[in-house]
Amino acid sequence: MTRYRPARAAWIVQAIGDSPVVYAAALAHGRPLVLADSAALIWIALTDCTHPATASEVAEALAAEQGFAAVAVLGDVSAFLDELVDHGLATH
Amino acid sequence: MPGYSPDVSVPDIPLAARVALAHAYAQALAEDHGVDLLHIKGPAATPELRGQRGGGTDVDVLVRPAHVRVWMAALAADGWSIDTDFTTSSVFEHAATLRHQEWGLMDVHRRYPGLDRDPEATFTRLWSGAVSRPIAHYPCPVPEEVAERLILLTHAARSAHPELHADVAASWGAADAATQGAVEALAADLGADVPLRIATGRAAQVAHLPEAAVWLAFEHPEDRLGEWQARWRSAATARAKVTVVVRGIAVNRHYLEAELGRPATGTDLARAWWHRAGALGHEVRRRLTERRS
């Protein structure tokens, strides 16, 4: 089971209207990126985890927060966590 | 969850957020190259000392003097270009301004005006008392609060009306007697007594000192000749005085190239030098005319 944790990164959480937005950069050679809406929620859930988390655990944390079934978003969450790894923002 | 399509994009990032991220970036880059630097101003500042400026518009870092060469090379290798180099930045030649397409502007201070009697010893003193402050969730070393107040006050001393500067109200006016005493003690240790007294409305106590001239010249920011005369009086050695004269009419190649939109040729530099020397001559003639009248 793959576990994810934030990589060496900087980030800021802001709200635009009702939606969260995260400005983040992998350090030291990543460039600033914007994670909007659900991307921001996944990032926040990942950084809130006190230990390296599986995609299921992140999806469950989101589900508990947002009020939907974890299984409904597990595929998207898993794919996005891999995308974060590609951008250098998360690591296995 | 309808419309659940997480995405990463690179649209414009608000300035304050970008500056905060850039501080974290600078810290990580410094760690990777073994460079000691302190984050100052903007998001690095203690919130109650920030005044109304909030997150700042650029990244300000004070670099250990012995590490400046390595730091500038690291920045150049990561895509930074020089807007203004050290020798043309200000009368104190203390900072270089660099620009990056994505990170924006960074002021690299190799020393800090007023705290520059012995820049290496000053940095070591500030570094030894530094505290860690998370900027964009990344730990960055910043000067402890008394040193931070002194840095802000010596910066305010470079303004035309220090007594009206917001930083003086926050860093001095609002401070209790014990804090003011601690700031004065640190200023005495680092040779910053003159700018501190000028910033805090006590210029008359130090106006007779040679090193006060360059600070008091900031009362008349439009007076370029007065600034260079003050710098001449403050230059300690003959060698330093010659340097002052050369720099007084030197052309900032980076500004000139920005103005031209292309690399400056020797002819461009000569023409700009002639124009600047002529402007200084015009100021001299104006002064002489005023004295005669």
For B104-156, the pLDDT digits (tens) are 999 999 999 888 889 999 999 999 999 999 999 999 999 999 999 999 999 98
Q: How far is it, in rounded angstroms, from Cα B130 to Cα B188? A: 19
Query: Looking at the domain assignment, is residue B206 inside a domain?
Result: no
In A, which residues are within 8 Å of B102 by CB distance? Answer: 31-32
- Who among B4, B25, B32 is closest to A76 (CB)? B4
ipTM value: 0.94
- Whether B11 sits inside 8 A of A34 (CB atoms) is yes
Clarify whether residues B16 and B131 are in a common domain.
yes
Query: Looking at the domain assignment, is residue B201 inside a domain?
Result: no
Q: Is A45 a residue whose pLDDT tops 80?
A: yes
Residue holding tokens 């101003």? B41
Q: How far from B16 is each of A28, B6, B55, B58, B140, CA to CA, in Å?
A: 19, 24, 5, 9, 17
Query: Looking at the domain assignment, is residue B118 inside a domain?
Result: yes
Q: Is B32 a residue whose pLDDT tops 60?
A: yes
> Within an 8 Å CB–CB cutoff, is residue B44 touching chain A?
no
Query: Looking at the domain assignment, is residue B189 inside a domain?
Result: no
Burial (0-12, 13-18, 19+ Cβ within 10 Å), B41: buried
Q: How far is it, in rounded angstroms, from Cα B257 to Cα B177? A: 50
> Within an 8 Å CB–CB cutoff, is residue B249 touching chain A?
no
Q: How far is it, in rounded angstroms, from Cα A31 to Cα A18? A: 26
Query: Looking at the domain assignment, is residue B153 inside a domain?
Result: no
B60: CATH: 3.30.460.40
Which pLDDT score is estimated for B278? Answer: 53
How many independent structural domains does chain B possess? 2
Burial (0-12, 13-18, 19+ Cβ within 10 Å), B97: middle
Q: Which of B97, B113, B143 is the last residue of a domain?
A: B143
**DSSP notation for A48-63:** H-SS-EEHHHHHHHHH
Which pLDDT score is estimated for B159? Answer: 81
**pLDDT of B183-232, one tens digit each?**
999 999 999 999 999 999 998 999 898 888 888 877 765 555 566 566 65
Q: How far is it, in rounded angstroms, from Cα B272 to Cα A88? A: 47
Q: Which of B143, B176, B193 is the last residue of a domain?
A: B143
In B, which residues are within 8 Å of A38 by CB distance? Answer: 1, 3-6
Structural domain that includes position B117: 12-143
Query: Looking at the domain assignment, is residue B190 inside a domain?
Result: no
Query: Looking at the domain assignment, is residue B220 inside a domain?
Result: no
Query: Looking at the domain assignment, is residue B257 inside a domain?
Result: yes
Q: How far is it, in rounded angstroms, from Cα B274 to Cα B268? A: 10
Which pLDDT score is estimated for B192? Answer: 94
Q: How far from B245 is each of B79, B231, B280, CA to CA, in Å?
A: 33, 9, 11
pTM reported for the whole predicted model? 0.79
